[in-house]
Amino acid sequence: MENRPNSLFAVQRKSGNSKDTLLWKLHSSAVQGEELSARQRAEDTAAIAEAAALLRAGGTVAFPTETVYGLGADARNTAAVEMVFAAKGRPSDNPLIVHVAGVAALDDLVSEVHETAAALMAAYWPGPLTLVLPARPGVLSPRVTAGLDTVGVRMPDHPVALALLKAAGCPVAAPSANRSGRPSPTLASHVQDDLAGYIGGVLDGGAAGVGLESTVVQVQPDGTVAVLRPGGITAEQLAAVAGVAAVDLSPAAALEFASPSSAGEALPGPAAGGAIAAEAGSPGAARAAGDGSPAPRAPGMKYTHYAPRGWLGVVRGASAQRVAEAAAERLQAAQQRGESTGLLLFEEHRGLYPAGTAACVVSLGSLGAPEEAARSLYAALRRFDDAGATYILAEACPVTGLGAAIMNRLMKAAGGSVIDAD
């Protein structure tokens, strides 16, 4: 089968060969909270100090957070930040989130913090919440803000990330440590697969916890909270602090950023001969290209993200049985035309599919445990790549709680391709 390049993935600029990327393997118990020996603590401290020195010197370092692995650079250093864009092949109008070790760092970075934003920080920092705030002029590289007058800032809830930020002594701009458009990395091995030879080093601190990127919000002058990207902090959690009237809790609000191509099966699966990214001229293709719209206020709002190499469609319907029937029918047709097929499902529904429905079947766990699906989503998408899947279908899930973030990422990964089973 012809192997055609996927146009969703940007062109990277390499800084060296894969051996040039340093790897600091930390003791896994440092992430798990287990007691370390004095020798282990000393080794981890030395590794983090080396990584911090590389950041201060204008280099790039991938490091674990509680969400996904980030690719960091000194947010004040334009040359360093440009290395992040080059390594990822990231669009230049896609702003970066700045990571800080504590609330006190905001004094140098932003000009104002709304009282509602301060309340959200008090409740959920450190944690998977990014707040878009007015940037203090002349401090951050303009590449970080994409020319906007605001900046997204968060304080990660991970011991390795916090230790690195404190040791570096600088604000660190850090998007996910993957090739732009690819599934975000939840393991150091994912980072190496995408970026070895493109970045300075990787701090291997084990698996990320939440598995999905942070929630990004912007507090409006009237105190209402605009959710720019759903993530590890749910809309319900935001409302618990800001007030129910201040946060839009409707399912449509969670999915509007994913912008599905249509209510039907807008983008057909690839014809025999290889996978496609999106039909030329379709809304999905326009989003992948950026469609000439203004710079997004936060990462994840404009471009196709998180995509496997094969074509991906999201199947939704009124019942699990109908979804399974529709998915099985399309997967069988894809197999008959020579596709290598994949199916992403929830464990409760496995028995609804005939044996051999897809060559590669991956479970996200139970529908009743969305945190499990969040942790495993990106690794699951990468498994389809490992299996060489060219046509993949994924079950939709309820757009409530953490399910809103899961569906947002699935829809982004699918480029808005939806199959309605009803």
* Residue 67 among known ligand-binding residues: yes
Question: What CA–CA distance (Å, rounded) separates 402 from 365?
Answer: 14
- The response to whether 94 counts as a known ligand-binding position is yes
Q: Is 287 annotated as a binding residue?
A: no
The response to whether 250 counts as a known ligand-binding position is: no
For residue 141, say whether it is annotated as part of any ligand binding site.
Answer: no
Can you tell me the distance from the alpha carbon of 103 to that of 98, in angstroms, rounded to the nearest whole number? 12
- Residue 353 assigned as binding residue: no
116 is in an annotated binding site: no
Tell which residue, 341, 348, 342, 339, has the closest CA to residue 372: 348
* 99 labelled ligand-binding: yes
Is residue 229 part of an annotated ligand binding site? yes
Terminal Cα-to-Cα distance of the chain (whole angstroms):
33
176 is in an annotated binding site: yes
Please tell me the distance from the alpha carbon of residue 214 to that of residue 226, in angstroms, as a whole number: 14
The torsion of the CA quartet 382, 385, 386, 387, rounded to 10 degrees, works out to: 120
Burial of 344 (0-12, 13-18, 19+ CB in 10 A): buried
DSSP 126-157: SSSEEEEEEBPTTTS-HHHHTT-SEEEEE---
- The answer to whether residues 99 and 70 touch, using CB atoms and an 8 Å cutoff, is yes
- CA-to-CA distance for 201 and 46, rounded, in angstroms? 14
Q: Does the annotation list 150 as a binding residue?
A: yes
Q: What is the DSSP letter of 247?
A: B
Q: Is 293 annotated as a binding residue?
A: no
Task: Find out whether 26 and 47 touch, Cβ atoms under 8 Å.
Answer: yes
> Cα–Cα distance between 173 and 105 in angstroms, integer?
13
Which residues does 173 contact at the CB level (< 8 Å), separation at least 6?
72, 73, 74, 75, 81, 84, 96, 97, 98, 99, 140, 141, 144
> Quick count: other Cβ atoms within 10 Å of Cβ 13?
12
Binding residues for ATP, by number, are: 90, 94, 150, 176, 184, 229, 306
Annotated binding residues, written as ranges, equal: 67, 90, 94, 99, 150, 154, 174, 176, 184, 214, 229, 306
What residue numbers does the annotated binding site for L-threonine cover? 67, 99, 154, 174, 214
